[in-house]
Structure 1
Amino acid sequence: MAMSTLTPPVVARCARSASRSRSDGPASSSRVSRVTAAAPARRWAPSPGSPSRRFRTGPRAAPAPAPSASIAPADGFVPAIDIARDTAGATSSISPAATRLSDPIADVAVDAWSVTGGTTLGAKFAGVETKLFQAGLLPYLAYLYFLGKDEARTPAASNFGARFLLLFVFATIPAGIVAKTRYGDILANVDVLHGSSESLLTVSNFLFAFGFASALADAAANGGDDSIGDESAGDDGDEESLLKRRMSAPAALALLVGAAGAGSFALSLGAQTVNLGPALHEPSNALSVPTWAVHVSSVTEWALAMRLIYAFADVSGNKNWRNVSVAMTPFLASGFCACTFHLFYNSPGVNALVPLQALLTLLGNCACGVAAWSVVKEGEAMKVDEAMKADETNRVMIPPRVTSSFDWAPEPNAASVLKLAAWSAIGAAGVKYGELLCGTFFLEPTYGKALAIVAAPTAIWCAVVFGGTDRSSPGSSFLSGLSMDKVKSFGKAGTIAYVIVELGFWAIAFPVAFGWYRVAEGTWLDLADAGDKARLFGAGAVFVNGVRALVPLRLAAALALAPYVESAMGGGAVGAGDEDGDE
């Protein structure tokens, strides 16, 4: 979860407005001292285009004598709270009552998720990310409802992991409030609170993925493929047998937490021993190795879960599980948004990444809710078929050849868990110190860089999950089924549904592009200006075509909508389409 700090101009304005409103009050510079004492010193990355590492505040009023609790700048960086204090100038004429009313930190303290509150960006567009996160709760609850239905046949560990995510969501609220009220900063810049709350997300994602990995292992054993079962048996010695022995979800989780935690703390201690951070001039608000390990682990687990669920559709016989895998894509992009924000050291210059993360989360919640509903509907149809035709029960079992489509899948044993732990710890250290070797790339944040970092790994992983299926296997039928021919098979209803979906995409694209420009640039597009019109149309086109390139979402939406359109038209459209197909 990511949030931002207060900018100096806002603090200055608050101080001046309070002074004008009540200039006869007693001196209250002690409040500034208390805030400064509570907030740790942070070194800011240089602004874009600046050859030096010194934060330039520009002309300012003569500052009051520095409070004793202030922390001196280090290595050319100036602590953010000191900057805010110095820019505001003398505050001796501000009364405590007026300060309480105008203090930006107090104003946004109750908004745990906001990064725009108290900033120039948030002055007119405050808390949009909080509203988006809140809007996503209801569709997520619907997703959990359908996921827990018997017809879905969701693995128990995965079902529990999905529900455990609610604990993470609610834990970030007090963590964010404490970060703002006690430390005067956003949650992403208070490493202990940030890492502790984010670790709950790792627990959720791990259990979610582990449940489907266990289901695939069970299906492989029941399907008659001995390759995976032989590996699990482990006949190469006692040590190897212990590593490849089947583990329960709680035992695997405990092993991951212990191994990844020990590894990341060891790497962090080693880096501190050789003074690696200061030697590479690392900003002091950089994430620690353990906190980066939490992020690397959670994103990896979610990415693996996407591929595991795609294979689980073949195992369970419920092809609509592939819809869930597709619907998880916005969540993956949302995770990369958060990590990208941290890569740029939570710079206010890319604050709009957090509203984008919230928007993707909302989209993922809605998509997963619809996908889980489709799983339940298909499960109900399977039950009817099984009752009518006993031989149809064979389709819920794996044919022996299908196991080759997921022989890549991690097994539910200690060896796989230790690999994930090692990947998380080493990857965390690589990200933390590797980005410092990239010169000023991450010290000069731009939205072009940030969006490229988010989009590239998301698109690559989607190509791996959805484009790497063996076309000779039953699993290849999903993508081939999402075609215009399938939409046309509904006749007029399919055509109308497709048009409605296309119009819906554009109806969403333009407000999103319009709002994104406002969040990113701080100004609204002027529709009377030809240049701004072109920007709006271009951004909308990028959104629509980006969704098209990422997954065939518009076709899936059209196919889902077509039966309802056909029903509204009187039920004749599908029959006509089928007759044409027969001819």
Structure 2
Amino acid sequence: MMIRSLTIIGFLAGASAFSPSPSLVVGRTEAAVARGTTTSITRNLVVSPDDLTSMVDLSTSAMQQLPVLDTSSILTSFTDQGQNLAGIFFQASLLPYLLFLYFLSFRANRIPEVANFGFQFILLFVISTIPAGIISKVVYETSLANVDYLHGGAELLLTVANIMIVWGLKEASTSPSAPSLGLPRALSLVTFGLFAATCALGPNVFGAETHSAFLFGIGDLSPSMTLDLPWVSHSEPVNALTIPTWMIHFSSVIEYLVAMDLVWKFSRVTQNEKWKGLTWGMLPLHASGICACTYHLFYNPSSLQFLVSMQAGLTLLGNITCMIAAFRIAQSNGWNFDEVNPLPRSNSDPRGLVADGIAATPLTLVEPTESNQVLVAKVVGLTVGLSYLIKYGSLGIDLPFEPNAAIALAMVIGIPGITAYRYYKESSFDGEGNKELFSFGDTSLSMTDVKKYGVSGTVAYVLTELAFWIVAFPVAAFALYQSTGHWPDVINETGDRAAVLAFVFAGANVARAFVPLRLGAALALAPWVDENLLGGKNGDDGEPQTEV
């Protein structure tokens, strides 16, 4: 639009200098395509001086309203993201995820290529949030979460990635002929291209505004219909998510849960129990998704900004745990440091033969518990139902309009906790499902009990403490915000950094009252650490070490 306006102004100004009459004659050549042949048509456009003045004024006004993405604004947006806690966590999470992809793709793991592509496609989702975030900040002067058409478009890429993961794992586990990668990859890349075009053309060409609806808000009720609902007692704020954007969020969460379950079952398909460790590794990423949905439930308030930092922290933790799990899977399948040697091995070199043998072993297929059609129907039904329930059902209660940090934290911890408990119950019994591998026993716990588990107990205790710190920093940041009215800048402001550390220190002292609970969590985690992270270093039975 800007280029077209400048072109018209240039042609008109040039013609006015040489025209001997009150009218301006502008020659314009257009290409016309008719019946497969191209012809050149020259038309005369007659414009009076008054019309010219009006057009120049209109074009100038239009150009003034167009956003200008200057370099300084873009750098400011990058700096803003790079210096806050969430930005630091997100940047640090990239390397672990790249290592996760490397280990996951090891040939002997026999990961289905469609599922493997799904995990890789998540990188494009991450990349897409960078320009989308910059446009939101520079053009609309708000966060990406409040720009519905960009927000929903970016999240759509995550949904596509999850679909690839679920589809690839399910088909490879139940069908002798795994799906080809060609069509899924093409459709995924087309989706990415469409979103890239939306980012490039949305503000200027399509005239998209801050709260323009993703997919035109298909399925949204009109404001009058919403107010006529019998339970409605509140009006939605302007930054409320549309039905399509809510559906994208819920479908991503549901699909990821299905993917975690399929990864767990893939241990039977590959006859390798280490795959169950990847399900556990994916749990923090599931919690990260719950963080985002909780933040949106409360309409993205600044008072719950700590959820953004917590989401980033959980993403970092999840990428690390997934990396560890993928490394263990690859190592169990014959990976060693010779695999990173860029020099080709000779045909007589025995190294890599174990991995080659496992890679050539066919998967052990299992009977599908439900057809693809039933699975799709369940996911779609839950997605649509939850989207309408949250968007319109929540208008009848006060909770979303009165942000509550305690309730938000309970949701972020409780929902993934239910998922964790399910897999804990499954992993706490032997193959016949009747022998409990661990019980709390005596309730008087101390570090001595943890030490009885040797390295497993120590690692489990470190993991529980790490989880505490992942939660402590966002909570401390929120406490500082409540006290001072601004979010801490832990990079540039010494006072903010000291205040956050003081809050964390105070919280750590309060947490001393819950030491038995923390020790109990470490003891409960120790057998899993021994089995899934250390490969049974404490013995085959997973029992604590005893001193003689």
Q: TM-score range by the shorter chain?
A: 0.5 to 0.7
Pairs within 5 Å for 1:329-348: 329-348=283-302
**Residue range with higher mean Cα deviation, 506-515 or 203-212:** 506-515
Aligned to 2:328: 374
Deviation for aligned residue 1:379: 2.2
**Is 1:213 the counterpart of 2:185 in the alignment?**
no
Deviation for aligned residue 1:435: 1.5
Matched position secondary structure for 2:403: coil
Deviation for aligned residue 1:415: 4.7
Residue by residue over 1:423-480, the C-alpha shift from the partner in whole angstroms, topping out at 9 and shown as x without a partner, is: 32332122111211112x1111121010111122211222334425796746899x84
**Residue range with higher mean Cα deviation, 201-210 or 453-462:** 453-462
Aligned to 1:144: 101
Specify whether residues 456 and 210 from structure 1 end up closer, same or farther in structure 2 by C-alpha distance, changes over 3 A only: same
**Is 1:521 the counterpart of 2:479 in the alignment?**
yes
**Is 1:423 the counterpart of 2:416 in the alignment?**
no
Deviation for aligned residue 1:301: 0.5
Letter in 1 for 2:412: V
Identify the match of residue 363 of structure 1 among 317, 322, 339.
317
**Is 1:314 the counterpart of 2:268 in the alignment?**
yes
Aligned to 1:7: none
Contact 2:250 2:386 in 1 (8 A): yes
In the alignment, the residues of structure 1 paired with residue 158 and residue 166 of structure 2 have an alpha-carbon distance, to the nearest angstrom, of: 12
Residue by residue over 1:384-409, the C-alpha shift from the partner in whole angstroms, topping out at 9 and shown as x without a partner, is: 49979x9xx79x636xxx75xx62xx
Deviation for aligned residue 1:519: 1.0
Aligned to 2:155: 198
Aligned to 2:198: none
In the alignment, the residues of structure 2 paired with residue 548 and residue 254 of structure 1 have an alpha-carbon distance, to the nearest angstrom, of: 48
In the alignment, the residues of structure 2 paired with residue 289 and residue 434 of structure 1 have an alpha-carbon distance, to the nearest angstrom, of: 12
Deviation for aligned residue 1:503: 5.3
Pairs within 5 Å for 1:447-462: 447-462=405-420
In the alignment, the residues of structure 1 paired with residue 374 and residue 80 of structure 2 have an alpha-carbon distance, to the nearest angstrom, of: 39
In the alignment, the residues of structure 2 paired with residue 547 and residue 345 of structure 1 have an alpha-carbon distance, to the nearest angstrom, of: 37
**Is 1:267 the counterpart of 2:219 in the alignment?**
yes
**Is 1:287 the counterpart of 2:287 in the alignment?**
no
Scaled by the length of structure 1, the TM-score of the pair is 0.59
Residue by residue over 1:27-68, the C-alpha shift from the partner in whole angstroms, topping out at 9 and shown as x without a partner, is: xxxxxxx9x9899xxxxxxxxxxxxxxxxxxxxxxxxxxxxx
Aligned to 1:435: 394
Aligned to 2:466: 508
**Is 1:110 the counterpart of 2:78 in the alignment?**
yes
Deviation for aligned residue 1:419: 3.9
Aligned to 1:90: none
Contact 1:140 1:369 in 2 (8 A): yes
Letter in 2 for 1:166: L
Q: Which has the larger radius of gyration?
A: 2
Letter in 1 for 2:317: L
In the alignment, the residues of structure 1 paired with residue 518 and residue 412 of structure 2 have an alpha-carbon distance, to the nearest angstrom, of: 13
**Is 1:557 the counterpart of 2:529 in the alignment?**
yes
In the alignment, the residues of structure 2 paired with residue 498 and residue 470 of structure 1 have an alpha-carbon distance, to the nearest angstrom, of: 16
Deviation for aligned residue 1:262: 12
In the alignment, the residues of structure 2 paired with residue 563 and residue 436 of structure 1 have an alpha-carbon distance, to the nearest angstrom, of: 50
Deviation for aligned residue 1:551: 11
Aligned to 1:349: 303
Contact 1:341 1:347 in 2 (8 A): yes
Letter in 2 for 1:535: G
Contact 2:214 2:244 in 1 (8 A): no
Pairs within 5 Å for 1:214-233: 214-218=171-175
Aligned to 1:536: 508
Matched position secondary structure for 1:281: coil
Aligned to 1:171: 128
More strand by share: 2
Residue by residue over 1:128-149, the C-alpha shift from the partner in whole angstroms, topping out at 9 and shown as x without a partner, is: 1001001010010011001111
Query: What runs of 5+ residues in structure 2 fail to find an aligned partner?
Result: 1-61, 192-212, 336-351, 442-449, 481-495
Specify whether residues 147 and 514 from structure 1 end up closer, same or farther in structure 2 by C-alpha distance, changes over 3 A only: closer
In the alignment, the residues of structure 2 paired with residue 254 and residue 417 of structure 1 have an alpha-carbon distance, to the nearest angstrom, of: 18
Query: What runs of 5+ residues in structure 1 fail to find an aligned partner?
Result: 1-33, 40-99, 115-125, 223-245, 485-491, 567-572
**Is 1:135 the counterpart of 2:92 in the alignment?**
yes
In the alignment, the residues of structure 1 paired with residue 397 and residue 306 of structure 2 have an alpha-carbon distance, to the nearest angstrom, of: 23
Pairs within 5 Å for 1:53-92: none
In the alignment, the residues of structure 2 paired with residue 162 and residue 253 of structure 1 have an alpha-carbon distance, to the nearest angstrom, of: 15
In the alignment, the residues of structure 2 paired with residue 136 and residue 457 of structure 1 have an alpha-carbon distance, to the nearest angstrom, of: 23
Specify whether residues 550 and 325 from structure 1 end up closer, same or farther in structure 2 by C-alpha distance, changes over 3 A only: farther
Residue by residue over 1:84-132, the C-alpha shift from the partner in whole angstroms, topping out at 9 and shown as x without a partner, is: xxxxxxxxxxxxxxxx99x9x8884225757xxxxxxxxxxx5110010
In the alignment, the residues of structure 2 paired with residue 360 and residue 543 of structure 1 have an alpha-carbon distance, to the nearest angstrom, of: 23
Contact 1:168 1:200 in 2 (8 A): yes
Specify whether residues 562 and 208 from structure 1 end up closer, same or farther in structure 2 by C-alpha distance, changes over 3 A only: closer
Contact 1:306 1:328 in 2 (8 A): yes
Aligned to 2:251: 297
Deviation for aligned residue 1:193: 0.9
Q: RMSD of aligned C-alpha atoms?
A: 5.0
In the alignment, the residues of structure 1 paired with residue 264 and residue 182 of structure 2 have an alpha-carbon distance, to the nearest angstrom, of: 21
Deviation for aligned residue 1:315: 1.7
Deviation for aligned residue 1:556: 3.5
In the alignment, the residues of structure 2 paired with residue 266 and residue 199 of structure 1 have an alpha-carbon distance, to the nearest angstrom, of: 15
In the alignment, the residues of structure 2 paired with residue 298 and residue 551 of structure 1 have an alpha-carbon distance, to the nearest angstrom, of: 33
Aligned to 1:188: 145
In the alignment, the residues of structure 1 paired with residue 499 and residue 127 of structure 2 have an alpha-carbon distance, to the nearest angstrom, of: 39
Letter in 2 for 1:515: F
Matched position secondary structure for 2:251: helix
Identical-pair percentage: 30
Matched position secondary structure for 1:368: helix
In the alignment, the residues of structure 1 paired with residue 321 and residue 501 of structure 2 have an alpha-carbon distance, to the nearest angstrom, of: 35
Deviation for aligned residue 1:363: 0.6
Scaled by the length of structure 2, the TM-score of the pair is 0.63
Letter in 2 for 1:130: G
Letter in 2 for 1:521: A
Deviation for aligned residue 1:272: 4.9
Contact 1:264 1:426 in 2 (8 A): no
Contact 1:267 1:429 in 2 (8 A): no
Matched position secondary structure for 1:365: helix
In the alignment, the residues of structure 1 paired with residue 433 and residue 516 of structure 2 have an alpha-carbon distance, to the nearest angstrom, of: 27
Matched position secondary structure for 1:203: helix
Contact 1:252 1:414 in 2 (8 A): no
Specify whether residues 276 and 370 from structure 1 end up closer, same or farther in structure 2 by C-alpha distance, changes over 3 A only: same
- The alignment covers a number of residue pairs equal to 416
Pairs within 5 Å for 1:1-12: none
Residue by residue over 1:528-559, the C-alpha shift from the partner in whole angstroms, topping out at 9 and shown as x without a partner, is: 99x98663234478699579759954443345
Structure 1 stretches of 4+ moved >6 Å: 36-39, 246-249, 251-255, 261-264, 385-388, 474-477, 481-484, 523-529, 540-544
Residue by residue over 1:198-221, the C-alpha shift from the partner in whole angstroms, topping out at 9 and shown as x without a partner, is: 1111111111111111123227x9
Deviation for aligned residue 1:377: 1.9
In the alignment, the residues of structure 1 paired with residue 514 and residue 524 of structure 2 have an alpha-carbon distance, to the nearest angstrom, of: 15
